[in-house]
């Protein structure tokens, strides 16, 4: 099922992401996903997230699909040239995986193989363009595909709380022109910035899911402020996380904060995308508190 169909029906779409393990034992990921994420629309599978080598996104997507979940295949341009990207897209379609999220990807220097060659033959925009071309039955080299071409719900990302939000909007417009059907955002901790962003982004007419991270501790919040692009946790939230250490450790404070952000953003967007970062077990409580 393509999640774009749900947006078209006006549904508030909930997705969450899981990260494949660094190894071949996927039982734990599948168990968590089945237990905590089966009630939501779809599950993103990250693609060697943060440039750290792991089990493949596509294989994990297939395993989730076999368990009855709807996977979203995250695809970055860091590790594959246009031939490998297109080939993997055909493989995904053949396996019945028809949701894809297109990203440029972190630089190889950010991860655990800093010696690796960064590819970036295509980028998030030209990858969307490539998928659109495949959908028309022609590959990027101009060669015809045999038989029925694949069809995808083509997702893209945007960073609404970035300090260069106008440049982000310009890039978003390029992604729309290249074929993006929907957007998931970087984590939002400042709903007022997100709402301002949406006032400008709504002109593109594409559904946007607000990105949510459940903050686990004041230390994590500070780490994100110093190291994660486009993410800023305000001081009062950090104080809130500091106030009652036990409550924070149990995830109660984080879930409260995240639920509040979702409630504030919900009237302005078409869905929510949760990056649980290992706290998949908190997702059901979060959605309940957020009234979804």
Partner 1 sequence: MLITELKSKETIVSLVDGKKVFIINCHGCKEVHFPEKEAAEFQKELADSGNVTGIMTKDYICNPENLKLRIQKYMDAIEAADAVLVFSCGVGVQTIAEYLGDKPVYAACDTYPLPGFQGVTPLEYDCKQCGECYLNLTGGICPITACSKSLVNGQCGGSKDGKCEVDSNMECGWERIYRRLAQLGRLDVLKCPTQVRNYATDEEVSK
Stretch that binds partner 1, among 8-16, 36-44, 114-122, 242-250 (CB under 8 A): 114-122
Contact pick of 21, 56, 111, 118 for partner 1 (by CB under 8 A):
118
Name the minimum Å distance from CB 123 to partner 1.
Answer: 5
Cα–Cα–Cα angle for 244, 212, 260, rounded to 5 degrees: 55
Contact pick of 55, 100, 122, 131 for partner 1 (by CB under 8 A):
122
> Quick one: angle between helices 252-265 and 191-201, nearest 10?
30
Contact pick of 54, 65, 174, 260 for partner 1 (by CB under 8 A):
174
Strand partners, 102: 75, 156
Q: Identify the burial level of 114 via C-beta atoms within 10 angstroms of its C-beta, where 0-12 means exposed, 13-18 middle and 19 or more buried.
A: exposed
Residue 251 engages partner 1 in binding (rule: CB under 8 A): no
User: How many helices, marked H, and strands, marked E, lie in the chain?
Assistant: 12, 8
Residue 248 engages partner 1 in binding (rule: CB under 8 A): no
Nearer to partner 1, 170 or 243 (CB): 170
Nearer to partner 1, 55 or 165 (CB): 165
79: DSSP letter: S
Binding to partner 1 by CB under 8 A, coded x per residue (else -) over 77-106, reads -----x---------------------x-x
Cα–Cα–Cα angle for 23, 284, 246, rounded to 5 degrees: 85
Nearer to partner 1, 6 or 201 (CB): 201
The CA R_g of the chain, rounded to the nearest whole Å, is: 18
Residue 110 engages partner 1 in binding (rule: CB under 8 A): yes
Nearer to partner 1, 38 or 50 (CB): 50
Residue 190 engages partner 1 in binding (rule: CB under 8 A): no
Residue 136 engages partner 1 in binding (rule: CB under 8 A): no
Residue 18 CA to residue 255 CA, distance in Å, equals 18
Nearer to partner 1, 60 or 186 (CB): 186
Contact pick of 126, 184, 248, 253 for partner 1 (by CB under 8 A):
126
Contact pick of 15, 74, 99, 162 for partner 1 (by CB under 8 A):
162
Name the minimum Å distance from CB 124 to partner 1.
Answer: 7
Cα dihedral 66, 67, 69, 71 sign: negative
Residue 229 engages partner 1 in binding (rule: CB under 8 A): yes
H or E element that contains 161:
none
Nearer to partner 1, 124 or 248 (CB): 124
Cα–Cα–Cα angle for 8, 268, 10, rounded to 5 degrees: 15
Residue 238 CA to residue 221 CA, distance in Å, equals 7
156: DSSP letter: E
Q: Return the percent helix, strand and coil in the chain, to nearest 5.
A: 45, 15, 35
Residue 99 CA to residue 1 CA, distance in Å, equals 8
Name the minimum Å distance from CB 172 to partner 1.
Answer: 9
Phi and psi torsions of 32, nearest 5°: -60, -45
Nearer to partner 1, 34 or 107 (CB): 107
Residues at the interface with partner 1 (CB under 8 A): 82, 104, 106-107, 109-110, 118, 120-126, 128-130, 140, 157-159, 162-164, 166-168, 170-171, 173-174, 177-178, 186, 227-230
């Amino acid at each position: 099922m393509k999640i774009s169909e749900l947006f078209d029906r006006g549904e508030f779409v909930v997705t969450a992401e899981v990260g494949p393990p660094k190894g071949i034992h996927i039982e734990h990921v599948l168990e968590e996903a089945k237990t905590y994420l089966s009630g939501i629309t779809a599950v993103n599978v990250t693609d060697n997230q943060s440039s750290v080598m792991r089990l493949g996104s596509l294989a994990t997507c297939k395993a989730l699909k076999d368990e009855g979940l709807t996977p979203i295949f995250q695809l970055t341009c860091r590790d594959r040239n246009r031939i490998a990207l297109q080939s993997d897209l055909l493989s995904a379609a053949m396996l019945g995986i028809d949701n894809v999220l297109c990203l440029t990807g972190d630089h190889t220097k950010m991860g655990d193989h800093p010696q690796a060659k960064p590819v970036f033959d295509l980028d998030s925009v030209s990858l969307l363009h490539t998928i659109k071309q495949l959908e028309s039955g022609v590959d990027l080299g101009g060669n015809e595909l045999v038989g029925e071409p694949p069809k995808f719900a083509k997702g893209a990302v945007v960073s609404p709380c970035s300090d260069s939000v106008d440049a982000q909007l310009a890039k978003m417009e390029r992604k729309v022109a290249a074929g993006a059907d929907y957007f998931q955002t970087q984590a939002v901790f400042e709903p007022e910035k997100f709402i301002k962003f949406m006032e400008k982004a709504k002109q593109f007419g594409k559904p946007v899911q607000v990105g949510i991270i459940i903050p686990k501790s004041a230390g994590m919040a500070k780490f994100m402020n110093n190291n994660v692009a486009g993410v800023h946790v305000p001081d009062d939230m950090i104080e809130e996380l500091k106030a009652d250490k036990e409550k924070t450790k149990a995830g109660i404070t984080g879930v409260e904060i995240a639920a509040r952000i979702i409630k504030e953003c919900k009237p302005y967007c078409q869905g929510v995308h949760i990056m649980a970062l290992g706290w998949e077990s908190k997702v059901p409580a979060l959605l309940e508190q957020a009234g979804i």
